Amino acid sequence: MALSWFPFAQIMIYIAHNNGRLTSASSTNSFRLAVWGIQVVVGLVGVALVGKLAVEEARKTGWRKTPRRLWQLFRYGPDDSHEAEPGQGPVSEDDRPDEVVPGN
């Protein structure tokens, strides 16, 4: 998310100008549009990858809590309390079935 605010196009134009690669205003504008196009495609791919998860979380937790929940998922991964079916709380240790270990 923070990288979406990073001015890639301007930095790349500055470097290209200093190396003599972009010498006219039209080539600079074409280069800027190409970089922006790549950024848009990368953003759309990100939305496609995370969109389904975001909609599911929004339905579970509500639209206002979705950004916080997605950030928690990103930082800590999924936890059992949010994976439970609606209307069910997390399963306590006493209510969980005993594990069967093969060979014992």
Please provide the average confidence, as pLDDT, over all residues in the chain. Answer: 78
- Who has greater pLDDT, 94 or 72? 72
Domain membership of residue 60 (yes or no) is yes
pLDDT at position 18 over 60: yes
Domain membership of residue 95 (yes or no) is no
Could you read off the pLDDT of 51-80 as tens digits, one per residue?
Answer: 888 888 888 888 888 888 888 888 888 776
Domain membership of residue 103 (yes or no) is no
Domain membership of residue 98 (yes or no) is no
Domain membership of residue 104 (yes or no) is no
Which domain, by its residues, includes 69? 7-84
* Residues 6 or more apart in contact with residue 13 via CB below 8 angstroms: 22, 28, 31, 32
- In angstroms and rounded to an integer, the radius of gyration of the C-alpha atoms of the chain is 24
**CA pair distance 73, 45, nearest whole angstrom:** 19
Domain count for the chain: 1
* Residues 6 or more apart in contact with residue 3 via CB below 8 angstroms: none
- Looking at the chain, the whole-number percentage of residues with pLDDT higher than 90 is 21
Domain membership of residue 100 (yes or no) is no
Mean pLDDT of 13-41: 91
